Amino acid sequence: MKPALQYYAMSWLKEKGYSEKSEAYIEDHIRKVSNTGIGKKLGVEPNTRLRDIPITHYNFYKPFFENPRRDDFLYPIQDYVRAITSGTMGKPKTYLLPKTGLWNTIQKTGMTFLFLCTHDGEKITYEVGDIVYHNMPGGQFISSFYYDIITGKHIGWVDQVPDPSMPFQEKVDYFIKHYKEIDVAYMTVTTLVDQIYPQIGEPIKLKGFITQDPLAYTMKDKIKEITGNYPKTLFGSTETMFVSMPSIEYPGCFFFDWRVFYPEFIPEKHIVDNNKETTEPFDDILPMSEVQQGQIYQLVATPYGNDLIRYAMPDLLECIALEDGVVGTELPIFRYHARCDNLIVLHNFTRINEDELIEVLNKTGVPYVDFVALREAEYSRDYLKIYIETQGPVDAEDLKAKINSQLLEYDKDWHDLTHMLEYQPLKIEILQKGSFHRYLQRKMGMPKVPRTNMPSDQLRILLGQA
């Protein structure tokens, strides 16, 4: 590996005064956005300050994505592909992403990412032509478009396996058959720990294990035991594209690449509702240079590779450090904390909200007083845990079977999670009669039951433990 290539890919990490360059980048981007239909609808002019642009949400962009017109976007309309997200309960959202923007982002971030993902804590172990395995969806998901672009450009950085169109279980079987040839792997923690490792039955030597699974943070030591390295975690999405790098000093955490993305941060107490088109700008939104260690923020994204600007993400991130001493960067380090839209997310497969749970429970035909649902992690597996008070006696296993049956019918992603990871991700606890009545009696003001992701202190009250 040529020293010049490594210098080019890594030198920006140690730059001082990144915030000044970042501000110059966003000012240039705003000038470009001002010429688009999206920018004009937001009132963006060439000299508009970022802080004066409204916070945007999916419902603002939806009409543009459904009926695209030539002058609405940054790139020629024929450059765009339709990418989907899994949405909630199998109901996908569609985004228009420019292939040029995807490629420009890869060009800036790709080599740095490979170097960091193969960093063993002391040195970079990447070599040109390393075999990178990924168990990611094909079709219209963004991972498939990245695969096609990298393959089509014949850049030779890595050899990607297998084809993303291959079914999930076949990808698992591929890894088990070829693991001795694979240098770097991307998959969920559960796939590694519960499906692959038990079948191989011995440590799997990898230069890097990459995941977006939040379990990486708590299971980093187990992952190192299996693969020989701590996990490398990234934050990426259809909306933001490829904008983060894994922290080396803090396994399971990441930092943002200011060259391709302008992140802003809303303190947790001021998080905004995503069920709108736009939110008026307000003062409590921080640039990356002003975040504080130990605080939790909602991410607001302006990726330079697509048309979203000041887009409120549904994610809460915790700033755990203000630098990575191993990498030598003074960029703040984050880890994924939770969804801020009260969705319950299991292994990044399925996303479940309150209304959908109510529909599922009603279809079981079992009368109930109320319920609370949350994500519960047990070793390497995520579960949907439902605490429910029924109106009469009921067998917990029978109720669990009925709920699971409805989820399998109602939610394709639940079906995929159950069958691909080969376990039933559901737990039920029947509460004592009067539990919700006693809970509401303890609450002040206008009492309300937060049915999804109830805070732990309130859950203890509901369970009679406080």
Q: Are 427 and 344 in contact (CB under 8 A)?
A: no
- The residue from 341, 364, 390 where one domain ends is 341
Q: Clarify whether residues 124 and 251 are in a common domain.
A: yes
Residue written as token pair 């040195």: 123
Q: Clarify whether residues 316 and 357 are in a common domain.
A: no
Residue 204 belongs to domain spanning: 3-341
Q: Clarify whether residues 285 and 193 are in a common domain.
A: yes
Average pLDDT over residues 417-437: 92
Q: Clarify whether residues 337 and 349 are in a common domain.
A: no
Strand pairing class (344-346; 296-303):
unpaired
Question: Of 132-146, 247-261, 279-293, where does mean pLDDT reach its minimum?
Answer: 132-146
Q: Clarify whether residues 251 and 165 are in a common domain.
A: yes
Q: CATH number, domain at 457?
A: 3.30.300.30
Q: Report the alpha-carbon distance of residue 447 to residue 445 in Å, rounded.
A: 6
pLDDT (0 to 100) of residue 387 = 97
Long-range contacts of 19-25 (CB under 8 A, 24+ apart): 19/287, 19/288, 19/289, 21/258, 22/258, 22/262, 22/287, 22/288, 25/258, 25/259, 25/262, 25/304
Q: Are 342 and 326 in contact (CB under 8 A)?
A: no
Q: Dihedral sign, CA of 303, 308, 310, 316?
A: negative
Q: Report the alpha-carbon distance of residue 158 to residue 424 in Å, rounded.
A: 36
What crossing angle do the helices spanning 412-420 and 396-410 adopt, rounded to 10°?
110
Q: Clarify whether residues 351 and 330 are in a common domain.
A: no
Q: Clarify whether residues 80 and 49 are in a common domain.
A: yes
Model confidence at 265: pLDDT above 90: yes
Model confidence at 1: pLDDT above 70: no
pLDDT classification of 447: cutoffs 50, 70, 90: low
Q: Are 375 and 453 in contact (CB under 8 A)?
A: yes
pLDDT (0 to 100) of residue 89 = 46
Residues near 332 by beta carbon (within 8 Å), at least 6 away in sequence = 255, 288, 291, 293, 319, 321, 322, 323
Q: What three-state secondary structure class fits 85? A: strand
- The residue from 297, 318, 341 where one domain ends is 341
Domain count, the chain: 2
pTM: 0.82
**Which one is predicted more confidently, 329 or 411?**
329
Q: Clarify whether residues 58 and 140 are in a common domain.
A: yes
- The residue from 325, 341, 357 where one domain ends is 341
For 108-149, how does the pLDDT look when each residue is reduced to its tens digit (9 = 90+)?
Answer: 999 999 999 999 999 999 998 899 999 887 788 888 888 888
Q: For a pLDDT cut of 70, what percent of the chain falls above it? A: 97
Q: Clarify whether residues 219 and 274 are in a common domain.
A: yes
Average pLDDT over residues 295-319: 96
Q: Clarify whether residues 84 and 221 are in a common domain.
A: yes
Strand pairing class (261-267; 278-279):
unpaired
Q: Clarify whether residues 424 and 325 are in a common domain.
A: no
- Start-to-end CA span in the chain (Å): 59
Model confidence at 31: pLDDT above 90: yes
Q: CATH number, domain at 99?
A: 3.40.50.12780
pLDDT (0 to 100) of residue 329 = 96
Q: In the predicted model, what is the mean pLDDT of the chain?
A: 91
What does the H/E/C string look like for 413-427?
Answer: HHHHHHHHCCCCCEE
Q: Clarify whether residues 331 and 291 are in a common domain.
A: yes
For 313-354, how does the pLDDT look when each residue is reduced to its tens digit (9 = 90+)?
Answer: 988 999 999 999 999 999 999 998 877 877 888 987 888 878
**What single DSSP character describes residue 191?**
I
